[in-house]
Copies of this chain bind each other. A is one copy, B any other.
Amino acid sequence: MTTSSRAPIELRSDNAAGVAPQIMAALAAANEGSALAYGGDAVTAQLGDLVREVFDHPQAQVFPVVSGTAANSLALSALCPPWGSVLCHETAHIFTNEGGATSLFSGGAVMRGLSGADYKLHPANLQRAFDDTLWGDPHHSQPSVVSVTCPTDFGTVYSVDEVQALAAQARGRNLRMHLDGARLANALVALGAAPAALTCAAGVDAFSLGATKNGALSTDAIVCCDPLVADQLVFRLKRAGHVASKMRYQSAQLVAYLTDGLWLQLAQRANDAMSMLSAGLRELGAELLADPQANMLFARVGRQAATALADAGLLFYGMGDGVVRFVTSFQTTDDDIAEVLRRAAAVLG
């Protein structure tokens, strides 16, 4: 065994990956001359046009922001009144990992986590929440938004039909529809779906367009399919400190990301690496918590094996109870996965 076989292999998060060379190049290219601040520049204008084209929606508007939490919580604050509630899966990032951001930005709205198989909301889950609601009774926070995370935080993916059905169900009760697309490209590639099909055309009012986890340097974005939501966000973002003054450098990342399908190519690599990894782990008999459709996998290996895998130089998060999480990124190579599987075989085999 060579030394390199002990070298750490990154599977902690796609956030731990670097920046795609095309995006670094775009930043360098944007660094020419001066440009009006706060989005009054040509690159930001170009980004708007590109988003409308990619998501096939002439009224779409895009707002670059520095984090997925900002993208989710600010969009939700424009969709949900202060006395409302956001319905989402009980494992959703917006419910479990954003430190109350939506309550802050909405002026006190609350989140309600629902159960659902495969870490997804299903129509029956949503219907039960509707049935439990005393509509119009001010003692109770009023369901106002349905939010789906796609891919979910456990690596499963809603189909286009599933998102459409939930959006229609939401609209039937006058709720708005939000999609947390922190890893949207990974979902699109997994489904082979057009960007519009899973978002604006499916009835989504606003969604988070992740880029940082998939090769960008410092930007995700909110995309609004509904221009009235965008009208609010102009103000909501500024007063939240989420308008970068040198916006052209944020926009340039996103323009490069969405141009010529770069985002989908990067996601394809991550998904492919995950396919290879999950197939290999299954061969080794590992129990997966869900079918990994995108670039994330949870396996129950037991505490002892988890420790052994870490000792073998795999970088990953332990989730407690002997469950490990592996995440691949656009930088994960087939060689990386082959080596991961070699080390895993020594532990699990």
What is A's interface to B at a CB cutoff of 8 Å?
10, 12-13, 15-19, 24, 27-28, 31-38, 65-71, 73-74, 81-83, 85, 96-101, 103-111, 136, 138-142, 212-213, 217-219, 232, 234-246, 249-250, 315, 329, 331
* Cβ–Cβ contact A100 & B108, under 8 A: yes
**Chain A interface mostly helix, strand, loop or mixed?**
loop
In the complex where A16-B37, A18-B31 touch, is A142 in contact with B235 (Cβ < 8 A)? yes
Residues of B within 8 A of A36 (CB): 12, 16
**Bound Cα distance from A28 to B31, whole angstroms:** 14
Contact assessment for A218 and B28 in the assembled complex, using a CB-CB cutoff below 8 Å: no
State how many angstroms separate the Cβ of A17 from the closest Cβ of chain B.
Answer: 6
Q: Pick from B83, B109, B136, B138: contact of A243, CB below 8 A.
A: B138
- Least Cβ–Cβ distance between A67 and chain B, in angstroms: 5
Q: Report the separation of the CA atoms of residues A295 and B10 in the bound assembly, to the nearest whole angstrom.
A: 45
Verify A138–B235 contact, CB threshold 8 A.
Answer: yes
Q: How far is the CB of A96 from chain B (nearest CB, A)?
A: 7
A238-B69 contact in complex given A18-B31, A138-B243, C-beta closer than 8 Å? yes
Contact (Cβ within 8 A) A241 B110: no
Contact A236 B66 (CB under 8 A): no
Nearest CB of B to A10, in Å: 4
Do A82 and B108 touch across chains, with their CB atoms under 8 A apart? no
Q: A86: shortest Cβ distance to chain B, in Å?
A: 11
Q: By the criterion CB–CB under 8 Å, are A110 and B107 in contact?
A: no
Given the complex of chains A and B, what is the CA–CA distance between A329 and B245 in angstroms?
14
Partner of A66, one of B19, B69, B140, B241: B241
Query: Once bound together, how far apart are the Cα atoms of A254 and B188, in whole Å?
Result: 36
Instruction: Kindly state the separation between the CA atoms of A36 and B96 in the bound complex, as whole angstroms.
Output: 20
A245 / chain B contacts, CB cutoff of 8 Å? 15, 67-68, 212-213
- Are B100 and A15 interface neighbours, CB within 8 A? no
In contact, B31 and A73 (Cβ under 8 angstroms): no
CB distance from A316 to the nearest CB of B (A): 12
Q: Which residue of B lies closest to A234 (CB)?
A: B138
Q: A263 → chain B, closest Cβ, in Å?
A: 16
15 A-B residue contacts at CB 8 Å? A15-B37, A17-B34, A24-B27, A27-B217, A67-B242, A81-B232, A82-B104, A83-B238, A96-B139, A97-B140, A98-B139, A138-B234, A212-B246, A217-B249, A240-B241
CB closest residue in chain B, given A35: B16
Q: Are A67 and B244 in contact (CB under 8 A)?
A: yes
* Interchain residue pairs A-B with the least CB separation, the first 6: A70-B241, A107-B107, A138-B238, A15-B37, A83-B235, A104-B108
| Pair A241/B69 contact, Cβ less than 8 Å | yes
* A103-B108 contact given A24-B28, A212-B245, A218-B244, CB 8 Å threshold: yes
Option from B34, B70, B97, B244 in Cβ contact (under 8 Å) with A139: B97
Please name all residues of chain B whose beta carbon is closer than 8 Å to the beta carbon of A329 when the two chains form the complex: 34
Inter-subunit contact A99/B242 (CB<8 Å): no
Query: Given A67-B242, A71-B241, A104-B107, 15 more contacts at CB 8 Å?
Result: A16-B34, A16-B35, A18-B34, A24-B27, A34-B315, A66-B218, A69-B238, A70-B240, A70-B242, A96-B139, A99-B140, A99-B239, A100-B108, A100-B141, A110-B110
Contact (A83, B239) CB under 8 Å given A98-B139, A104-B108, A141-B100: yes
